[in-house]
Structure 1
């Protein structure tokens, strides 16, 4: 276990590999070495101190994968500010909730994202901003809130430009930074990440230096990362996938980060080719978009070796293509959740294809896992499904200002209850078969949607499939499959039913098939099954009227 703060990791890597490229933004021609990265984050850490941010103070950050985001992550790690990550798709009520619940004093933001004007939104949330002196906001709704910094040089009332913010570094000596740097402890909270809030209001997960540094290190170890590797990161920084499995895994191994501000499949393929990336991260929908891009065959991805597919279950056929068509022969699957900072289990580079496509691997070193009967709390034997629980260095400090939710998630013995249904095989590999709340009970039979999804993926015309349960007066629940077809393919419900007959049990054949072009998604690329379920209920009720 590394007993290091985020800042200590940056300094160590800069000393070990000063000339290795730390990060590249191909879209802007920006390239910086680890020595330069260390110097940049030192200067920005001074700016945070100079502008008045105390150790332990909460700094919210809201943008896509901009360079300022990356530098802020590691600069706060050098001076003790707690970075509160904001989902890029948030609108005014969600932003207001987060700023208030997290007690953030500061907001760093981009100007806009995919049609959302962030400046307009913050002015809606904090109308006092327009008439405030920069750094002296007094908000009736947000009593702790003081300052806003924009990642640009455009002037807005009450908001510091980026260079105005950076200039605060001039007022802080090396000794002042060193004092702050040395005052930090690996057990200090460094990051608050808000869960996506698929049930109730989002909760702020408190993660420490120890959590994220070691999780990043173990993720990179499992991928065999070194200073020779170049990791393409198109997944969002505001999510653990971006800022732990991405940036932290890279920095703990002196690996070069090749960063896409936003995901766009062709741009990512171009980056992999031009920057000779050896690793590529993505959720399954991203890999599907890359593989199905009409120009896919024109890009050379032969430098790829590794990467991580995570965020939602990986279809077997997609995994096979990432290995055969993209050349990422050592691609790994990682599984976890924000509350476990995030990775619990991961497949290994030398696992056979069967283990890599049918399981989420084995637990990381220093991580305990057990699978329990949710009804009794007793540990179940291998081969029996139950709820996955985990314990170790990686468990969050708790939910910010939400003791009750913390107690519901972490039991008195320190086990985090994930809410995921898992099965362990005789070799210790774990398969995730669904969420406890996704399980469909049809006529007394437990059905796991994942199993039916995997079967339907084997149809050559299907690009993506999601299966949900809908209420049924006779059986309690019935299955509905949402299908995305490959370009140029056609298929109807009757043909799909025929395809299923004799291959899967009759009670597992979906009663309803719905064809769609896209699924409701979170900003981090996860499919929102609860929304699909709501749509399914609406559709099935209409069809029965």
Structure 2
């Protein structure tokens, strides 16, 4: 089939426009023209106005350029929710470089693949996270240098000895001389966001500047964001949800407050302290919050609405009645946009929503033929506006062609469209696991399990959680004559996997169900679910480290 030139996919060409540019520099300039002094971003320690954000973007771009970063170069970012994260995003966007935010829990094979696939020349990382980078095989990487962000003092990294680095590492340089914004096209890449594959290695989703604009426009419209709103998120900025919240604030004269992490005990207090009016939650967070004893703080905030994809329908009204916050569901993905949803008046518990204007969707069979309403099939989608969707998967031409075949993006989600136009999620077509807001590739978990010398075969699959979403279970066959303690295997996985991908359940079995040609039949394992012989990490007393 040939290959796709990634330089073309990144969108280096600039077209003549008849409308205002939708690039990050253009959106920043427009914000300053409308309101230069209103707050735009805060990490609860520092706060920037629109004018300050422009200065930060121009001067951080200057520092990047002085370091040799050029338009189209990739800059990896391994950082928690703090102002330096957004500073690197703004600097890259101003310069025309491409930021590669990485899940801070990434380790081992997954982290090495992301760095190798993206070809990042520079990494910006917090000091307590950089050890995972230094442990990799650098002969496979294009990485030339690391900028270190001083970690906040914590028990995890306080007093830790500095690690020897095989590549040049230095403290985060000061901002440089301000540069003029690059003349960028709407389709040029702003970010490459890695999303776990369903049956293979993580794929780098090439997200153009305009995609973030359209995310912001549609999401803010559904949420009813207005000037002066305070948008509060405790979701990680390395995911598309929180990153898009910044663009909602940017384009609607609001402020984004990005907190460090989700805390069930501190969530409503944070809403009060930040004076938030809009917030963002994931499906698993709502039942966790409802599982706590009711507190006066749950009604003492100003929040009127939350973007809440994937919340089970039976929790939605209970949460609104108890906490006074309306929950907005919908469908989107890193590759797409807010394709299915609508405002609060259009919500129907248990459903994703209706098709949003500006997009098209079909429910199809294995041959991409549309199925009748009421029949389950794969959801495929496309956008009316140019660059409202991602441009493809970086360095993975075959995967790009497969996902965008017949000029539709194939979501991999099995859904039903009802006669009234509402879409209902059924399940994933392929073998992905969704746990506590994170997408997990069973393939990557299996590769770590199989690397243990005692393991002969491993199958990783989703089982039902007591909360929303999934738990990770592994069925394992040991090599002849080998024995293996479950907790020892967990300890083996811990430095090699993100904490959320470490299996909760382990089941050591004599054999696995297979087809005639030897392929493991995971659907049979999922159908059985948690067996009587399964070992449970949650009841073992062992707690995974999260740093």
Partner deviation per Cα, 1:370-410 (whole Å, 9 max, x = no partner)? 11122x42112222221110012433211111111111111
CA contact (8 A) 1:384 1:424 kept: yes
Match of 1:70 among 78, 86, 97: 86
C-alpha separation in 1, matches of 2:146 and 2:174: 13
**Distance change in 2, residues 1:153/1:391 (3 Å):** closer
1:212 — aligned with what?
212
**Distance change in 2, residues 1:541/1:317 (3 Å):** closer
**Distance change in 2, residues 1:483/1:262 (3 Å):** closer
CA contact (8 A) 1:235 1:524 kept: no
C-alpha separation in 2, matches of 1:258 and 1:79: 25
C-alpha separation in 2, matches of 1:527 and 1:320: 33
In the alignment, structure 2 segments of 5+ residues that lack a partner are 1-18, 153-161, 435-460, 469-493, 508-521, 535-547
2:133 — aligned with what?
122
The CA deviation at 1:77 is 1.2
Match of 2:31 among 8, 13, 20: 13
C-alpha separation in 1, matches of 2:502 and 2:354: 24
Partner deviation per Cα, 1:440-481 (whole Å, 9 max, x = no partner)? xxxxxxxxx99xxxxxxxxxxxxxxxxxxxxxxxxxxxx997
Structure 2 SS opposite 1:370: strand
Instruction: Name the Cα RMSD after superposition.
Output: 3.3
C-alpha separation in 1, matches of 2:48 and 2:89: 16
Structure 2 SS opposite 1:304: coil
2:223 — aligned with what?
223
Structure 2 SS opposite 1:64: coil
Q: Which protein, 1 or 2, shows the higher relative CO under an 8 Å CA cutoff with sep ≥ 6? A: 2
CA contact (8 A) 1:7 1:75 kept: no
2:148 — aligned with what?
150
The CA deviation at 1:95 is 1.6
1:469 — aligned with what?
none
**Which structure shows the higher helix fraction?**
1
CA contact (8 A) 2:194 2:205 kept: yes
The CA deviation at 1:210 is 1.4
**Distance change in 2, residues 1:223/1:400 (3 Å):** same
2:417 — aligned with what?
424
The CA deviation at 1:347 is 3.0
C-alpha separation in 2, matches of 1:528 and 1:332: 31
The CA deviation at 1:255 is 1.4
> What are the within-5 Å matches in structure 2 for residues 38-187 of structure 1?
38-112=54-128, 118-125=129-136, 139-142=138-141, 144-152=142-150, 158-162=168-172, 165-167=173-175, 169-170=176-177, 174=178, 177-178=179-180, 181-187=181-187
> What are the within-5 Å matches in structure 2 for residues 128-527 of structure 1?
139-142=138-141, 144-152=142-150, 158-162=168-172, 165-167=173-175, 169-170=176-177, 174=178, 177-178=179-180, 181-244=181-244, 246-294=245-293, 296-310=295-309, 313-329=310-326, 331-340=327-336, 342-351=337-346, 355-374=347-366, 376-392=367-383, 393=386, 394-412=388-406, 414-437=407-430, 482=464, 484=466
**Distance change in 2, residues 1:406/1:438 (3 Å):** closer
The CA deviation at 1:428 is 2.1
**Distance change in 2, residues 1:529/1:218 (3 Å):** farther
**Distance change in 2, residues 1:415/1:87 (3 Å):** same
The CA deviation at 1:530 is 11
The CA deviation at 1:434 is 1.3
Q: TM-score, normalised by structure 1?
A: 0.72
C-alpha separation in 2, matches of 1:401 and 1:531: 34
C-alpha separation in 1, matches of 2:399 and 2:232: 35
CA contact (8 A) 2:304 2:325 kept: yes
CA contact (8 A) 2:110 2:202 kept: no
Structure 2 SS opposite 1:428: coil
**Distance change in 2, residues 1:362/1:250 (3 Å):** farther
The CA deviation at 1:336 is 1.8
Partner deviation per Cα, 1:112-143 (whole Å, 9 max, x = no partner)? 3xxxxx232222226xxxxxxxxxxxx5332x
C-alpha separation in 1, matches of 2:77 and 2:250: 20
CA contact (8 A) 1:273 1:300 kept: no
